[in-house]
Amino acid sequence: APSAYILYCNEARSKLPKGLKVPEQAKMLGAQWKALDEKERVKFEKMAGEAKAAIADAAPETKAKGKGANSEPKPKRAPSAYILYCNEARSKLPKGLKVPEQAKMLGAQWKALDEKERVKFEKMAGEAKAAIADAAPETKAKGKGANSEPKPKRAPSAYIL
């Protein structure tokens, strides 16, 4: 929606002397806008408010911005066993480490972790995955799986015969 200043400029531009370049027009319009009395300014602010309301009424579902912003949010992925381990072990790391240093230490600790401890985190990851799958059963499986149908074969080309 155009602002009050833009609406004023659209109206006042026709009253400017002919032959002015755009920067000169902008300077003159800005000075006129600053010198405009409150009564005239309120008129343009009211027009801007009406234009903004008209646009909002015309398309209420376009308020979100960005790619795919109006679509449903994607469900979160279940954390892996490694991520769950990192979340728990990060608090035991020395303070003041940078993120890459933390990642190196956590990776080394994960590799050195005995099977009993690792199974604990893998079980937690399986439970988290099942909980997310139960919460959103309508998500579609992508790729070539049991649900996908085979493609029909193409007819042989006439050039090959």
What pLDDT digit, counting tens, does each position of 9-65 carry?
A: 999 988 898 898 999 999 999 999 999 999 889 999 999 999 888 888 877 555 556
What does the pLDDT read at residue 134? 81
- pLDDT value for 64: 55
Q: Exposed/middle/buried for 71, CB within 10 Å: 0-12, 13-18, 19+?
A: exposed
**Euclidean distance between the first and the last CA atom of the chain, given in angstroms as a whole number:** 64
What pLDDT is recorded for position 55?
Answer: 85
In what helix (H) or strand (E) does residue 12 lie, and over which residues does it extend? helix 4-12
Q: What is the per-residue pLDDT across 137-161, written as a single tens digit (0 to 9) for each?
A: 665 555 555 556 777 777 666 666 5
Distance separating alpha carbons of residues 119 and 161, to the nearest angstrom = 60
pTM of the model: 0.43
The CA-atom distances, in angstroms, between 118 and each of 30, 85, 98, 102, 114 are 68, 8, 25, 19, 6
pLDDT given at position 159: 63
CA atoms within 13 A on the CB side of 25: 16
**Residue corresponding to tokens 């015969």:** 161
